Chains A and B, each alone.
Chain A
């Protein structure tokens, strides 16, 4: 059972410095792919290093199954954790051939020589690197090195695979292709994976669940759809997909007054009236209309009049930036056939069912 339970994990590097990891609680189910998603410096890589055993926590525990791996009292060293890891730099050893790189973990595990050969060949075949087995890393492209790193990590059949920004050194096309390969690999092996990335698309493609991290804390954990549709914080909301975040004051359980207009949401929050809150709505859910064509050009609940400040034609869609009363800029996307001139006034319809109120 490779169920990972992280409880109240804290880590600070400098004695007086900020917490790099601040009370993280996280459970990864056996066979699950969990992405740690966040901007750089959010603590995701530190969490991964704690998980791998390269660092000792200041507080909290890490368990896998029944086994306590890390606590302030001590850590099981990385070599005894039955984990594998793919590093951001791949860390392919330049003095070993592709074959030797992949075989390393098997040698360490004292696997019989003949079995090593067959397992290495098998995994190299799976990552389409069999024909390059005798090459040295310096003779490989970045994508090929990535595959070697992948093969080296999975050939030992680890309980858990840790991935630290594994695709960040690849170009865009290759990156997109490798996301699916990693996911396919998981589906074929069922290995529990913890995947650190700052790229939301990567997280959404590869992960079963995503943990959004910010400032050393986990802000929200959920499936990609949950987080996309029901972000719990403004940060989570803005980090997955594009999101308009309207600041205001709570005037009813489900109503927020922004400067100049009022928005009602489908669901309320348990906050006191008068508290600061934000309303989130995704650009594609905003309905734009011409001021002339609508019955009432005035602002009403969930409707506001704004002025187009920027308009970008992106082929499949049009992307508008609209300034609304109070100076906020909202973003809206429409079908490319709908066209509004820069400077013209438009109405913005914010459908109740797409508006969410979250804590600031």
Chain B
């Protein structure tokens, strides 16, 4: 009985988290303000006006470029670290983790300091060195936004491809060697094609992230006088509010995502990539010879531009009384840290909120993921496919659209969650549920059902055997699943920006608010605080798990 009850609760939570918001989103898109009947008028308006079509084009361009660059850099990087004797592999991976946990809007803010056309530090250095009239970089451009987003998306492809290369049986490549294929040919004809599912997953992940990203375009593309779908959606929320139009406008994003996932299936098609390997085999690392150090240099570039430069810029700015004066001795101060942590009630409560909401969201997402994944993998319920689909559905819905769905569904009775912490907690939990779910599913699949059955033959009930046998065995998978929700929840902006109220501001929305009017010191300080906290958590988790979080499965 207890097992049924828990399962029913999890189902209800799924309905609240996924089904209702998405249903409401669709319903809202058909509504006409002050009219009773439903119609497709919003769709007609959204997709016939050229000012609304332009942003869609821009979004597709940005997403395609970001995903292409992320794959083009992430794949060789993964290959270098997994298959060659490039020096410093451990340190390189740590740097990629640092890039992985950096929210790209923070990177965008840092790159504004570095590469604004005239005032950017890099451009100034260039002008000082070459006496050129202008610096070469302009972060306020489509190219600039693509560059920044690509930087922080490289870790996705890297992680997926690196994982695939690690799991790939050495025999697959040895078979090509013995048939006469040399390193380059082997890599191109065997290794990379075998990593194709991971590469595609990386591409799709980056494409979706870029499509759904709000912060970076808001910071970089408004000055560039370009709109993308997310900034247009934000405008629909401005006065006069057009939530119905926003809902209609959001639909193609979901369609594009669904189309991508369909294409992914088609691409992989009959080539099901199940590979049997024998354990304990030894892999030959490709010796790079005299190219080793050159390769290290190349591998360091993404980290340099994604981590070193931005963090240096943010750190210096956060320690400056006024960033415009530059990092000179008299200008250095801890004023802003004191301001954020002690003097300012808004930032203090935002820090507390970020933590508590992230904590609650991760716990809820994990609880649901464990319950549903358990029920589905153990085939305890009918319609397992459907449940999996529902759990994974938020993956295809960009955060900003999920936020619109949440607002439409929960800003009125009977479930008035808007204005409370719950709407943010549930939104975060929903956004990252797919990560927790796929993590738990793969962990449960590796765990033999016989272990539980053994407990059950000894008289333990299903729930008891779950908690006494399965859960302890899954502890590390559960911890990593929890963290994989907690960390992104800490840095979530695109959902939060639509759902927070004065009493529920979180660190990211506060950063967003400071980002206007040139409060760069405040933004940098809050950014450094978020990152310090996140990296500390990653460090602790590494000790607890004995491995890096980034080795998780692709969603």
Question: Interface residues, chain A, CB within 8 Å of chain B?
Answer: 13, 49, 52-55, 77-81, 83-85, 87-91, 93-96, 104-105, 108-109, 136, 138-139, 152, 156, 162, 169
Contacts and interface: CB of A to CB of B under 8 A. Distances in A.
Contact of A152 (B172, B179, B181, B278): B179
B178 A52 contact: yes
B547 interface: no
Given A91-B174, A136-B270, A136-B272, 11 more contacts: A79-B180, A79-B181, A89-B278, A91-B175, A93-B172, A93-B190, A94-B274, A95-B271, A108-B179, A139-B270, A152-B175
B194 interface: yes
Contacts of A169: 276
Contacts of A87: 171, 174-175
B177 interface: yes
A345 B171 CA distance: 56
B180 to A, nearest CB: 4
> Which bracket fits the contact residues of B?
20 to 34
Closest 3 CB pairs of A and B: A105-B179, A138-B272, A91-B171
Contact of A91 (B169, B185, B282): B169
A272 B193 CA distance: 64
Q: From DSSP, what is the main secondary structure of chain B's interface residues? A: loop
B458 interface: no
Interface in B41-85: none
A80 B171 CA distance: 17
A260 B218 CA distance: 95
B284 A54 contact: yes
A108 B194 CA distance: 18
A80 B274 CA distance: 29
Contact of A94 (B171, B175, B275, B278): B275
Contacts of A95: 193-194, 196, 271, 273
A84 B196 CA distance: 26
Contacts of A81: 178
A84 to B, nearest CB: 6
Contacts of B194: 93-95
A110 to B, nearest CB: 10
A108 B181 contact: yes
B241 interface: no
B344 interface: no
16 contacts: A53-B177, A54-B284, A78-B178, A79-B178, A79-B181, A81-B178, A85-B175, A89-B169, A89-B275, A90-B276, A91-B171, A91-B175, A94-B194, A94-B273, A105-B180, A139-B270
Contacts of A54: 174, 177, 282, 284
Given A89-B169, A136-B271, A139-B270, A79 B182 contact: yes
Contacts of A105: 179-180
A53 B174 CA distance: 10
B177 A94 contact: no
Interface in B249-292: 270-278, 282, 284
Nearest to B269: A136
A158 to B, nearest CB: 8
A136 B190 CA distance: 15
A290 B285 CA distance: 66
Contacts of B169: 89, 91
Contacts of B174: 52, 54, 78, 85, 87, 91
A85 B172 CA distance: 11
Nearest to B186: A79
A94 B179 CA distance: 17
B176 interface: yes
B445 interface: no
A162 B171 CA distance: 13
B189 interface: yes
Contacts of B271: 94-95, 136, 138
A124 to B, nearest CB: 16
A84 B179 contact: yes
A105 B185 CA distance: 11
Contact of B178 (A84, A94, A96, A139): A84
Contacts of A83: 178
Interface string B186-209: 000110011010000000000000
B180 A156 contact: yes
Given A52-B174, A81-B178, A136-B271, A89 B282 contact: no
Contact of B189 (A84, A89, A90, A104): A104
A83 B196 CA distance: 28
A152 B171 CA distance: 14
Contacts of A156: 179-180
A93 B177 CA distance: 13
Contacts of A94: 194, 271-275
Which of A13, A91, A109 has the most B CB atoms < 10 Å from its CB?
A: A91
A138 B270 contact: yes
Nearest to B174: A54
A93 B189 CA distance: 10
B270 A85 contact: no
Nearest to A142: B276
A280 B276 CA distance: 41
A324 B171 CA distance: 50
A298 B55 CA distance: 104
A182 B383 CA distance: 47
Contacts of A152: 175, 179
Contacts of B171: 87-89, 91
A191 to B, nearest CB: 14
Nearest to A81: B178
